[in-house]
Amino acid sequence: MDLNRIPAGFVPRAAAFVAVAIVATVGVTWAALYGLPHVKSLPPLKAAKAPKPIVVPDVRREAFVFAKGTLEDAGFAWKVSGKVHGYAANTVINQVPAAGTKVYDTGAPLVILTLEKNAAYGQKGVAEDVSPYAATEVDPAETLIAPAGATAAPAVAPATAPKTAAPTTAATKATKAVASAAATKTVASTKPAQTTKPAQTAKPAQTSAALPAWPTSRPPAFVVAGAKKEPLDEMPLPNRAILLGRWLDTHPKPTPANAHYWLYQNAWIVVGAKFGWWHGAEALRTLIAVDRRAEQLWGIGAQSETVAAQALRVVEAKSKLSS
């Protein structure tokens, strides 16, 4: 054969053809010797379970400190939208999705809140505009209907929410808010993030007393027009203050999660006492002692003590006028 007459590119194509033939031959030989895996030996595929729908609670006309606890208990994340920020006493005037809407439980569906300032109590403490854990997508189980006037916020929330300045470590439902390991009932209307039993440590004299009885009837110390009535399915304010002191002794480090829980409890007790709830003054006195203890352990607490002391003067004055 005259090699000079072989067309250009013939040799590379011939080499590629030979390589393909070799690979095919090896594959057939392997299959003949060892056999191919049998289809029936593979595990059966399991159908994925669809998430269950959950209902968006109605938190309109509630103080923000209570509204966010209600949402967290129901399995939702939250975000404050608008010019008014998430101070404890501010009031929720709008929410998206609307109350009663069914959405699938994707982990922590986002509810967007619009607030208005509470002129009677002002904006004190630390504002919280985003839940302490990341939100998940809102997957409607039915058509979402926004309440009247809800044009500023989207009807369907974004898949994720921005994190707070001091977020918890895991953005999962299990880390939803911070826990009170000492409380037998939910202490803050939030889901506990720490479930380990605290070590037994010495308790300060202010918080070592036995918990007061949990009466089913709790007459208010005074009446505030338009204020939320004390929920009887929640523990009384004095119990909450005592348990906060015991919790503080088992959490000696001011982690972001611990600080969030401690501030939440402070806000709950102060706002509830200003609303005239049962034995609010007693709870504030205990809270002041707890805040002083926090200052000793964590180096923070003086500001919360000042807020609690101011609230105590208001509550005592209103209690005298109503008696």
DSSP string, 116-177: E--TTT-S-S----B-SS--B---BSS---PPTT--SS-SS--S--PPPSS--S--SGGG-S
Q: Return d(Cα 106, Cα 21) in angstroms, integer.
A: 52
pLDDT tens digits along 49-65:
566 789 999 999 888 98
Question: Which stretches in the chain have pLDDT values below 70?
Answer: 1-51, 142-210
What pLDDT score was predicted for residue 123? 81
* pTM for the full predicted model: 0.48
For 255-278, the DSSP string reads: -HHHHHHHHHHHHHHHHHHHTT-T
Q: Is 173 exposed, middle or buried (0-12, 13-18, 19+ CB in 10 A)?
A: middle
Crossing angle for the helix pair 280-298 and 256-274, nearest 10 degrees? 160
Residue 7, classed as helix, strand or coil, is coil
Phi and psi (nearest 5°) for 63? -65, 145
What pLDDT score was predicted for residue 177? 38
| Residue 301 DSSP class | -
Half-sphere exposure of 268 (CA within 13 A, CB side): 27
Q: Return d(Cα 184, Cα 204) in angstroms, integer.
A: 20
Coarse DSSP helix, strand, coil percentages of the chain, rounded to the nearest 5 percent: 35, 10, 55
- Which residue is associated with the tokens 């009170």? 180
What pLDDT score was predicted for residue 77? 92
What pLDDT score was predicted for residue 122? 75
What pLDDT score was predicted for residue 323? 72
